[in-house]
Structure 1
Amino acid sequence: MIEQKVRSILRQQDGILETEKCGVVIANFRKDDDLLVVPVFNAEKQAIGLIDRQAALSTASNPLHFSVYQNRSAKMLVQEVFPIFDVETSIDMASQKMLEMGLSLSTGGFLITENGLYTGIGINTDMLNYLVEANHARAEALTELHTEMMDSVNYAGRIQSSLLPNRMALQEGLRSVGVLWEPRDVVGGDVYWRTEEDFEGTFTLALIDCTGHGVPGSLMSMLVVSVLNRIYSEKPEIGPGEALSKLGNLVRTALNQDREDCQSNDGFDAGLCKINTHKKTVSFSGARTNCFIVPKDGTPVVRLLGEKQALGYPGQVPYTPLEEYEMSLENCQTFFMASDGVLDQPGGENSRAFGPRRLLQHLESYRHLGAEALMMQTKTVVDQWRGQESRRDDVSALAFSV
């Protein structure tokens, strides 16, 4: 809606000279119910003020006051405070000025000038009606804009979801798999991934947490997944530690973060697990991502610590291969990775982070469950922990049994 000027609510109205008697003015108000304000001029025909209907009739309602005022100059009835606006003043600005002056928008009026000369009056209720209609139009425009924006975000969400591996592809070669993927804002920076093709009995699973959430996070995640696909298509036998270092270096190059004038300060955390079905082993490497292993023999859950560095971000020193752990599948029942959206989620009585210690206890308590059932229980436990707290980040986790 185009912002209107006070010209649009201008009313042409003749005024009176300041020498006119108050009794005449009051009589005119009593005869004409539509007469709300009367402009007052001096001998040089310059507007010097307004007489408000309500104030004038209030004075006349007291017989003693009326007998005193009726033969005096109309100047006696002029408001002490009255606004004057040029025809090109916006109604929004005029209304704000009147409120700052302590004036009501439900009664009275104001003078309107053009090039310093009187041209008409404005009625406050006309201004108020415009503001109501304008706010309604703005609300409708904002609603329409919000709908269009959410339609775009929801469409982006469908695109991002379609890029994630489907359940059948994800579970191929695994006994059970469980996924928790809940972007905070329809789309997000967390993704899970699997190599598109197995190589000599090996395949790799990944959980990635990119900086940010919403649309910026989703764009970052698409870049990371694209680079990861490229790495494994060029060298399918690569181990997780080397793959993570290459991923960090290539993402850094793609975002020009290896230049001194870079403007991007984005990066990601990631955990990669390479499953070798021939050797019956799983190799893990993580960048600020841990891998929890539930043993088959009932011994305590093991926490493999990923390296403390994140990947990406500005820098000129190339990443070197990250540390790898290799475990035999003989005594490993379930592998579990989670993003910081799970671990950092505040909740409980004191609004503390869920944290790795509670996750460890949770995995101990439900170690008898398969990966899929374990993940469903994890979602329930984390949601209960969050309670009424707002969700701060994207939430994702990946569990699998071989």
Structure 2
Amino acid sequence: MNFKSVFIFFIFLLISTQFLFAEQWDIVKSRGKGTITVFYYNSEHFISDSSGKLEGIEYDIFIAFKQYLKNQGVDITINFKKATDFSSLYEEIKYGGSGEFGVCSFSITEQRMKEISFSPRYMPDVQVLISSGNIPFAKNEEEFINIFSELTAIAVRNTTFEQDLLKLQETVPNFKIEYEQSSSMIRDRIISSDNLFGYIELPTYLTLFNNGLRFKRQNLFKVERDGYAITLPKNSSWLEPINDFFNSDAFKLEVNQIIKKHLGKGVKDLLWKIEHSEEGESQSEITLLTMERETQELEIKQQTLKVQILVGGGAVILVILFLLVFGYRMKRSANKSLTERNNLIEKQKTELERLSIVAEKMNEAVVIADSSGKIEYYNNGLVRNSGYSEEEFKVNFKDLMYLQKITSRNDIQAIIDGFQTDSTPFLYDSQHVKKDGSTMWTAASLSPVYDDEKELYKIIVVYTDIDESKEFSNQLSEKNKEIMDSIHYAKMIQDAMLPSESMMGNVFDDNFILFKPKDIVSGDFYWFEEIGDYFILVLADCTGHGVPGAFMSMMGSNFLTNIITDNAIRSTSKALTLLDTKVKKALLSENHHSRDGMDIAFMAYNKIEKTLDFSGGNNSIFILREGELMKYKGDRFSIGSDGIEDKKFTEERIQLQKGDIVYTFTDGYKDQFGGPKGKKFMQKQLLSIITENAASPLKKQKEILDDRIEEWMKGYEQIDDISVMGFKV
């Protein structure tokens, strides 16, 4: 049997095995019980474990599906499994078996329908374009292109968010796209940063908007699709019960309650309405368009009049704004009759009396200034916050009644000048010196008011006391500094414990160590020692990274010194056996019951005979000889608490030849996510780089390996410590 036949048979065996163990609906139905697996990735409001427990629309749909089948006499168990990202979730379903489902606010698209199956849709699918607060609304396509051509879009790879942005690039070709892991990250970045935009689901947008979370939604380039649905592998036998469930009137009533639970009462009619007629029951979809138009109108109104105030000041500012504009218009009404004017004045007087009661009793300080910054009114809150009596305040501040003089900022004039063209309120933290010399912190909100000719008329300022929160923030910063100082001190200790690379240079003329901790301190470590004719080399990867990994690495380094240096043990297998015993004993003495430990490559090089003794704990070494890589595997268990007792590490003696290059590495390099598709780097690609550059000096190989992983990681966070070691005989 040739290799091709064996390969085809192996693939057939894998597929057959998958379907053999899959839960077919007919079998589950006949025996009255079974198990299904639901793969998911966090999507806010749809399914998420961010709160510590699974919840969301699609989670509740599956709970309702379980109850539906139970009423039909079939009891199922649901296993929810979280995918590492959206792409891997999609792959699970694309190549999955019967009894497997996928959920993550999946949109029904033509391309996906060719690769996977969908349930009937349970909600209309509309995606809208949101943007950072500093980006203006575009009134038409030409204006949109001018505004957005140099901006940055945010998307999740392999989702309809990315598809819609790629489609948008056909109209606006110059903007660039950056990637996040989830739609909530898209929203968070757009809210917190300038010059960003991206797509999110309209139901999510409406819920966030109703909950008071403010960002801009552009009215152009909205995308409508067939709807949201549950996904299944192609031709899954479970399409039958899932279709029956979704098409039942019981589901339509149930899903309304689910949507109302997770998106709020304001969207209770977004999905289905059950109508009764002589011909029976029929359902009609209630679209999102009415609510969307109402939301757009609210946004447009907010753009032309944004008076944002802090807690307690909102109602007061609205009343003040009304009275100021009302008073200005009265000045322009000289042609009205005296009776009408007196009535208006009397009405204004009544409103001012009411306002005075509110303004004088509130804790916040309120200031009204003219368009030049000159203060025309202030309430008692400003006086109380200063620590002066009313008379003392008048004396001490009589020459300071300008916004430019009473605030700690030196750019207030520039802010006032900016109000001539930009109506956006300005928020900042302000520092004030009180009568007793102490400092008071306030959150200040400056809001412009315009007359009928759109000219700057007044400026309203509200100061809110934030002394307590500022003090807490300062304490938190101090604690963070103490923690970081401790971590940096730990790094100094760890660096001191790592051997000098020159030790390896004394034995091997050509060598390198690529050492890239994920955090300040590392869970990887290397260790060298000369014992007679032997040179010992160790590379280890401890459980975790950062501070926990660093403590484990320092413990391992100390134990190796005791085993090798103090006791002159040269046997690699015996050294690992002793190290395993010491690590487990140390963890047990700390009542530590987790599976902590380390993966390790332990080598003893005989400088006279040119032999290399090797033992490994869940790690291997590679020897490059005349362009061919040879792999020497370690044992399939680690050092430490991995649940295996009485470990016996094997030892292999390798006769090296002149020109041989020995490599070993921890799993941080090959497991790093990145590249154009957000995949792992993989060991195969790492070994390919080593083989392709075999003729280069090892110092040059180190540069190449460093450059390649840095390029691969662009746009992604380093997930683990990275270490690669090489030396040439």
Same fold (TM over 0.5): yes
Correspondent of 1:198 among 521, 531, 535: 531
Question: Structure 1 counterpart of 2:631, which letter?
Answer: R
2:585, 2:358 → 1: CA distance? 65
Partner in structure 2 of residue 284 of structure 1: 614
SS, match of residue 539 in structure 2: strand
Correspondent of 1:325 among 652, 656, 660: 652
2:684, 2:553 → 1: CA distance? 28
1:273 and 2:603 aligned: yes
Q: Do the aligned partners of 2:497 and 2:557 also contact (CA within 8 Å) in 1?
A: no
Deviation at 1:335, TM superposition (A): 0.5
Deviation at 1:223, TM superposition (A): 0.5
Question: Structure 2 counterpart of 1:229, which letter?
Answer: T
Partner in structure 1 of residue 540 of structure 2: 208
1:379 and 2:688 aligned: no
In structure 2, the CA distance between the partners of 1:86 and 1:181, relative to structure 1 (3 Å rule), is same
Deviation at 1:292, TM superposition (A): 1.1
1:295-343 Cα shifts (integer Å, max 9, x gaps): 1x34x2112222332322364x534222333211126611101111111
Partner in structure 2 of residue 399 of structure 1: 726
Tell me, which stretches of 5 or more residues in structure 1 are unaligned? 1-48, 95-106, 112-119
Partner in structure 2 of residue 221 of structure 1: 553
Q: Which moved more, 1:264-273 or 1:219-228?
A: 264-273
Partner in structure 2 of residue 24 of structure 1: none
2:502, 2:595 → 1: CA distance? 36
In structure 2, the CA distance between the partners of 1:174 and 1:54, relative to structure 1 (3 Å rule), is closer
2:714, 2:317 → 1: CA distance? 60
Correspondent of 1:311 among 639, 646, 666: 639
Alignment of 1:184-195 (within 5 A): 184-195=518-529
In structure 2, the CA distance between the partners of 1:263 and 1:110, relative to structure 1 (3 Å rule), is farther
1:108, 1:344 → 2: CA distance? 62
Correspondent of 1:359 among 657, 669, 686: 686
Question: Structure 1 counterpart of 2:684, which letter?
Answer: R
Partner in structure 2 of residue 302 of structure 1: 630
Partner in structure 2 of residue 116 of structure 1: none
Q: Do the aligned partners of 2:621 and 2:631 also contact (CA within 8 Å) in 1?
A: yes
Instruction: Considering Cα pairs closer than 8 Å and 6+ residues apart, tell me whether 1 or 2 has the greater RCO.
Output: 1
Deviation at 1:238, TM superposition (A): 3.8
State percent identity of aligned pairs.
25
1:247 and 2:559 aligned: no
Deviation at 1:387, TM superposition (A): 3.0
2:712, 2:321 → 1: CA distance? 61
Question: Structure 2 counterpart of 1:288, which letter?
Answer: N
2:360, 2:324 → 1: CA distance? 23
1:148, 1:246 → 2: CA distance? 37
In structure 2, the CA distance between the partners of 1:66 and 1:52, relative to structure 1 (3 Å rule), is farther
Q: Do the aligned partners of 2:569 and 2:575 also contact (CA within 8 Å) in 1?
A: no
1:115-172 Cα shifts (integer Å, max 9, x gaps): xxxxx9xxxx999752367577776666665555444433332321121111222333
Correspondent of 1:131 among 443, 467, 473: 443
1:165 and 2:499 aligned: yes
Q: Do the aligned partners of 1:178 and 1:375 also contact (CA within 8 Å) in 2?
A: yes
1:181 and 2:493 aligned: no
1:221-273 Cα shifts (integer Å, max 9, x gaps): 1001111111113542342233223212211111117x9x5355422111111
Alignment of 1:338-357 (within 5 A): 338-357=665-684
Question: Structure 1 counterpart of 2:545, which letter?
Answer: H
Partner in structure 1 of residue 717 of structure 2: 390
2:521, 2:641 → 1: CA distance? 22
Deviation at 1:175, TM superposition (A): 3.4
Partner in structure 2 of residue 153 of structure 1: 487
Deviation at 1:388, TM superposition (A): 3.2
Q: Do the aligned partners of 2:615 and 2:649 also contact (CA within 8 Å) in 1?
A: yes
Aligned residues: 320
1:344, 1:191 → 2: CA distance? 18
Q: Do the aligned partners of 1:59 and 1:66 also contact (CA within 8 Å) in 2?
A: no
1:184-221 Cα shifts (integer Å, max 9, x gaps): 222111111012x413x122100011122222221111
SS, match of residue 248 in structure 1: helix
In structure 2, the CA distance between the partners of 1:146 and 1:329, relative to structure 1 (3 Å rule), is same
In structure 2, the CA distance between the partners of 1:54 and 1:347, relative to structure 1 (3 Å rule), is closer
Tell me, which stretches of 5 or more residues in structure 2 are unaligned? 1-315, 366-376, 382-389, 391-405, 408-427, 431-441, 445-465
2:318, 2:520 → 1: CA distance? 58
1:381, 1:375 → 2: CA distance? 10
> Structure 1-normalised TM-score?
0.66
Partner in structure 2 of residue 101 of structure 1: none
2:605, 2:582 → 1: CA distance? 24
> Structure 2-normalised TM-score?
0.38
Alignment of 1:108-147 (within 5 A): 129=430, 130-131=442-443, 134=467, 146-147=480-481
Question: Structure 2 counterpart of 1:267, which letter?
Answer: G
SS, match of residue 676 in structure 2: coil
Partner in structure 2 of residue 68 of structure 1: 343
SS, match of residue 711 in structure 2: helix
The alignment yields a C-alpha RMSD, in angstroms, of 4.1
Q: Do the aligned partners of 2:619 and 2:633 also contact (CA within 8 Å) in 1?
A: yes
SS, match of residue 224 in structure 1: helix
Question: Structure 2 counterpart of 1:164, which letter?
Answer: L
1:337 and 2:664 aligned: yes
In structure 2, the CA distance between the partners of 1:395 and 1:56, relative to structure 1 (3 Å rule), is same
1:291, 1:192 → 2: CA distance? 14
In structure 2, the CA distance between the partners of 1:228 and 1:58, relative to structure 1 (3 Å rule), is same
SS, match of residue 578 in structure 2: helix
2:347, 2:716 → 1: CA distance? 69
Q: Do the aligned partners of 2:531 and 2:565 also contact (CA within 8 Å) in 1?
A: no
1:305, 1:324 → 2: CA distance? 10
